[in-house]
Structure formats: C-alpha cells, structure tokens
C-alpha cells in the first residue's frame, strides 16, 4: 500500500511523492544545487528510501523537519542562514525521532566532534561515491527500523498494561476492596495518563477516608482538568 504526500522543497514549489508507508523517509539539506540533484539520483533506485524534502539551507531544513518528521536528515555542515550543527540541534527539538547524518569536507575537525556530541549517528567526508552514500544511509536505516519496532512494541505493551489496570481497578471497586493490593492498584491508576472522571470520583472517597491528601489532591487536579476539557453545555431553549 502507499500514500501520497505533498512536500515543500522550496518556498515556491510543491512536489507530490507517492511512497510506500514502510519506507525510510529522508530529508536532504545542502546549499549546493548540483549536490542536491546528485543525491536525488543516488537514491532514485533505492525503493526502501523516500526523499520527502530537500532543503537548501539550515533554516529550511529545520522548518521541513518540523513539518515532515523525517526518519533521517542528511545535513551539510556549512550552509547559509543556519549552519548544519545549529540546524541539527534545533531538529532534535522539533523532531526528536529524526536521526541525523552529517556531510562535511572538514575531515576530523572539531565540527565533526561537535556533531557527534549532538547525537549524529554517521558522517561522510566529501567527496564520496554513490555507493558510500547509499551504504551510510542504509546503516542508519537499520537503526531507524529497529527503533521503530522497539517503540511500537513499547506502545503495545503500555496499552495492554493500561487495559489490564483499568479492568483490575473496576473489579476491585465492584468488590468494594480497600486492602493494600487494591490501594496499590488505585494509586497506580490515579498516577496514570488514562483516567475516567467517574472512576476518579469513586476513588476520591476511598483516599479521603484514608486521609491520603497527596493522592486526593492529584485526583482533584485531574478531575478539574477533565472538566475544563469538556465542551460547554448550553441550555435547551423552552418551546413556546
């Protein structure tokens, strides 16, 4: 299966890419137009990658990363408006799951060491061959794929855990349990992110009777937050 996405590769231009939904999404940033064209040609036959954006400077790279959330950003160090290192630092904030690779003609310079300290996983020294470039991208892609699988597994495990806890708390409340095992489950539920206001109201009475003011305060705060998110209810006008 595939989906379509519109990519802004310059302030004036939109490109339409049709891409497989399991492809590694790549953002390229380099101020040399000829190099940007070369990179597109290098990856043209690689079906496991999709270039989702091409930026001509560091500032545009940050903006695209914020919009597109690419898996990999391939960055030149020396670019106008915003250098590669500054752009990588900002990409880490606007798209924290993007893995960065650096391109440079600087050799083993302090700039490369700074890039590595910012979390850059791979770097290439210019000039490099198409094979070297593709292999470097593939090396990062392996890590990106592993990270995606781990994150998906972690989310699934957390969802299962939340579901089990909700069921457990419901059964304890139905049985009117207030023993240590039940209180531990209630406390864990209250501290979680997925809570039901009605369940919180039931738990409030239990923690009030125990004079557990700290937990009771958290319950009240979450109930108030839930109330503030509820859409306002307008009275139904009476028929005349």
Q: Are 77 and 110 in contact (CB under 8 A)?
A: no
Whole-number Å distance between alpha carbons of 39 and 31: 12
Cα 86-89-95 angle, rounded to 5 deg = 130
**Helices and strands (H and E) in the chain: how many:** 8, 7
Confidence of residue 87 (pLDDT cuts 50, 70, 90): very high
Q: Are 17 and 41 in contact (CB under 8 A)?
A: no
pLDDT for res 191: 92
179 or 145: which leads in pLDDT: 179
Q: Are 31 and 56 in contact (CB under 8 A)?
A: yes
The residue assigned the tokens 């299962």 is 160
The answer to whether the bond into 127 is cis (omega within 30° of 0) is: yes
Q: Give the chain's end-to-end CA distance (angstroms, integer).
A: 57
The answer, yes or no, to whether residue 18 has pLDDT greater than 60, is: no
Q: Which helix (H) or strand (E) holds 204?
A: helix 197-209
% the chain with pLDDT above 70: 84
pLDDT in tens, 44-66: 888 888 889 999 999 999 999 99
Whole-number Å distance between alpha carbons of 170 and 48: 46
Whole-number Å distance between alpha carbons of 123 and 165: 45
List, in sequence order, every beta strand (DSSP E) within the chain.
2-10, 13-20, 24-29, 49-55, 72-76, 99-104, 122-125
Backbone angles phi, psi at 60, to 5 degrees: -65, -35
Whole-number Å distance between alpha carbons of 233 and 53: 45
Whole-number Å distance between alpha carbons of 83 and 101: 14
pLDDT for res 172: 94
Average per-residue pLDDT for the chain: 81
Q: Which of 12-16, 121-125, 142-146, 170-174 has the lowest average pLDDT? A: 12-16
Confidence of residue 237 (pLDDT cuts 50, 70, 90): low
The predicted model scores a pTM of 0.57
Q: Cβ of 179: how many Cβ atoms within 10 Å?
A: 9
pLDDT in tens, 218-229: 999 998 887 765
216 or 103: which leads in pLDDT: 216
């Amino acid at each position: 299966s595939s989906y379509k996405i519109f990519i802004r590769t310059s302030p004036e231009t939109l490109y339409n890419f049709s891409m497989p939904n399991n492809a590694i999404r790549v953002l390229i940033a380099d101020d040399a137009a000829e190099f940007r064209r070369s990179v597109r040609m290098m990856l043209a036959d690689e079906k496991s990658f999709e270039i989702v954006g091409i930026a001509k400077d560091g500032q545009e790279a940050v903006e695209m990363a914020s919009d597109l959330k690419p898996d990999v950003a391939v960055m030149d160090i020396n670019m106008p408006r915003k250098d590669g290192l500054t752009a990588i630092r900002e990409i880490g904030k606007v798209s924290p799951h993007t893995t960065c690779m650096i391109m440079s003609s600087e050799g083993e310079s302090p700039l490369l060491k700074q890039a590595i300290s910012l979390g850059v996983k791979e770097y290439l020294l210019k000039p490099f061959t198409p094979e070297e470039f593709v292999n470097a991208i593939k090396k990062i892609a392996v890590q990106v794929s592993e990270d995606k699988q781990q994150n998906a597994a972690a989310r699934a495990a957390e969802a299962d855990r939340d579901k089990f806890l909700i069921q457990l708390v419901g059964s304890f409340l139905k049985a009117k349990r207030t023993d240590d095992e039940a209180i531990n489950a209630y406390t864990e539920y209250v501290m979680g992110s997925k809570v039901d206001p009605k369940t919180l109201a039931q738990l409030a009475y239990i923690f009030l009777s125990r004079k557990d003011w700290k937990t009771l305060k958290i319950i009240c705060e979450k109930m108030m937050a839930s109330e503030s998110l509820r859409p306002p209810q307008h009275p139904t006008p009476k028929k005349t």
